[in-house]
Amino acid sequence: MLRAGRMGLGTFGILLLLIHASATCEFGPFPYSITGIVCRMTKPAALLLNQETARVIQAAFRNAKFPNITGERSMRFLGKVAYGLSNIQVNDLSIEKSEVELKENDAIHITIKNVTAIFKGTLTYGYAGAWFLQLFHSVDFEIESSIDLQINIKLMCQKDQVAADASDCYLSFHKLTLQLQGDKEPGWLKQLFTDFISFTLKLVLKSEVCNEINFLAQVLANFVHDLAANFVQDEDIRLDISLASVPLIKANYLESHHKGLVRYKNYSDVFSDSVFSPSLLAESRMLYFWLSEHILNSLASAAFLDKRLGLTITGEKLKALFEMEDTEAQRKAVQTIFQGTSYNDSVAKVWSLAHPQISVQPEGTVVKSFVGVEISIFPPGEESLTVLYMEKEITVTIQAAYAEKKLILHPLDSRTEFKVFKCTADPSGNDLSIRNFLQTMISVVGIPEVISRIEPALTSLMNSKGLHLFEIRNPEIITRKGYVIVQLDFSFPNHLLLDFLEKRL
């Protein structure tokens, strides 16, 4: 068994980079207090991702830059025999199996069994005889090999990002056989090169292959970090996913802790009262995410500052809102507000007047908003007229789910309180029937209409980050006082890794 120097990570970089580690980073005395996001990946997920190890090991062998190997030996009667191996390439590589084991508070152990490959190249040799006779020959060769790899990966942190220390890398050679093409050369020559070149090639393989694995580890580390950072960023709004504390390596799961602070232009988030504890997450599902209520609040504030919390309703959508029922009160409200103007010549604008307040409770996510509503009409041949202006405080409880690659938001109950109410046709505000109708309309169809706009927008945003590429099974979004837990099982999209390797290597 040969031990390599600085060895690599392999496909497990995909797994490891979801886990941000710390060996050199410094954290405060109470690191969980600044934790806004937690990712827990359990043993079944590690086993699933380990199936991709073969792809990275194959890439490591395929992309390893094998140097030309040269040397010489003294032979009785023949003088010095010099040789060189050049144009070394790998063909017909296969891997029997790969295993992963999580060693608590230690490392991630990956065992790759029976890596078989054929190395091809050109053997050039020459010798100077006792009578100054010089002969030089060149012949193609093949080397059949069978190797086991053992990689022990420790986690560390560099610049608040993950890094992997995989310096414990071992290669065990079960077979390394030299075949000269045609076998026409003298038997002593084949025996000489089989013995000596095999030993030299072992040293080269352990260095070049493991160095390539290490290179791929860092490439994968950067890839996964960039993928995560991109997923939690949209234009000027982003989440700081730098480490908040040392990760946990347990026998049944890996867990990373991230700050999750919202960054938006000059807006800088502060957070120091997280309620996270490892005991809040279970181990029965493949993947868990824990999100602090503070993150949702800060994201809502950033969206408000970025002027994203507004919408315009016209035409058929406006008609559907105001004709939800055919009653005398409805007809009176429509006539009073729109003054006979068609819906196609009218527009309703809804926008947030202040930062929404979000509170996560067991029954759902409670959103409290201070909202402005303005309805204007555009009678043909006349100037536009604002016929209704309202400011109201709306509180709604929402339950979220994810199914068929779509985000689903379901409003459970809502409360509306008017703060300002101005209607052109009722300047005194004494006609309570209009206000009562509008309050009912807002609760029954207004809030669902707003939510129906938010659902596809958020789904589209997540899919633009690649979420739709994963087969997510039985996802659950669970709310508790002060935090949200997302738990799920998943299948890894094989083509994602293949596409990545083809682009980067």
Look up residue 443 and give its DSSP letter: I
Q: Are 235 and 27 in contact (CB under 8 A)?
A: no
Domain boundary among 205, 228, 251: 228
Distance CA 381, CA 402 (A): 48
Task: Give which of 91, 44, 85 is closest to 68, Cα–Cα.
Answer: 85
Print the domain residue range for 51: 43-228
Distance CA 135, CA 81 (A): 10
Q: Are 122 and 243 within one domain?
A: no
**Hey, how many other C-beta atoms are within 10 angstroms of the C-beta on 307?**
9
- Give the tokens for residue 414: 């809502």
- Give the tokens for residue 89: 């390439």
CATH number of the domain that residue 143 is part of: 3.15.10.10
**Hey, how many other C-beta atoms are within 10 angstroms of the C-beta on 378?**
15
Distance CA 246, CA 28 (A): 11
Task: Give which of 503, 12, 11, 20 is closest to 246, Cα–Cα.
Answer: 20
- Give the tokens for residue 78: 């023949």
Q: Are 67 and 110 within one domain?
A: yes
Q: Are 42 and 253 in contact (CB under 8 A)?
A: yes
Q: Are 366 and 318 within one domain?
A: yes
Q: Are 112 and 261 within one domain?
A: no
**pTM score, whole prediction:** 0.81
Q: Are 70 and 185 within one domain?
A: yes
In a domain, 10, yes or no: no
pLDDT of residue 158: 76
Q: Residue 131 in 3-state DSSP?
A: coil
Look up residue 34 and give its DSSP letter: G
Structurally, the chain folds into a number of domains equal to: 2
Task: Give which of 339, 340, 337 is closest to 434, Cα–Cα.
Answer: 337
Q: Are 254 and 6 in contact (CB under 8 A)?
A: no
Beta bridge partners of 137: 125
The DSSP H or E segment spanning 331 is helix 328-338
In a domain, 502, yes or no: no
Q: Are 239 and 219 within one domain?
A: no
pLDDT of residue 195: 67
Q: Are 468 and 459 in contact (CB under 8 A)?
A: no
Task: Give which of 80, 79, 61, 82 is closest to 71, Cα–Cα.
Answer: 82
Q: Residue 390 in 3-state DSSP?
A: strand
pLDDT of residue 143: 83
Domain boundary among 172, 202, 228: 228
Which amino acid would we find at residue 50? N
Q: Are 190 and 306 within one domain?
A: no
Which amino acid would we find at residue 253? Y
Distance CA 125, CA 135 (A): 8
Contact residues for 411 (Cβ-Cβ < 8 A; gap 6+): 396, 397, 398, 447, 448, 451
Q: Are 364 and 473 within one domain?
A: yes
Task: Give which of 355, 300, 298, 294 is closest to 482, Cα–Cα.
Answer: 294
pLDDT of residue 79: 66
Q: Are 426 and 336 in contact (CB under 8 A)?
A: yes
- pLDDT truncated to tens, each residue of the chain (505 aa)? 333 333 333 334 444 444 444 346 777 777 788 999 999 999 888 888 777 766 777 777 777 777 787 777 776 655 677 778 888 888 888 888 888 888 888 788 888 888 888 888 888 877 655 444 455 677 888 888 888 888 887 777 778 877 777 777 878 888 877 777 755 455 665 666 666 667 777 777 777 777 777 777 777 777 778 888 888 999 999 999 998 887 788 899 988 899 999 999 988 788 888 999 999 999 999 999 999 999 999 999 999 999 999 999 999 989 888 888 788 888 888 888 898 899 999 999 999 999 999 999 999 999 999 999 999 999 888 888 999 999 999 999 999 999 999 999 999 889 999 999 998 888 877 778 888 888 888 888 888 888 998 999 999 999 998 888 888 999 999 999 999 999 999 886 666 666 665 565 5
Tally of residues, the chain: 505
pLDDT of residue 276: 94
CATH number of the domain that residue 385 is part of: 3.15.20.10
Q: Are 293 and 196 within one domain?
A: no
Look up residue 426 and give its DSSP letter: B
Beta bridge partners of 391: 372, 420
- Give the tokens for residue 492: 């890894």
Task: Give which of 90, 89, 85, 108 is closest to 98, Cα–Cα.
Answer: 108
Q: Are 210 and 168 in contact (CB under 8 A)?
A: no
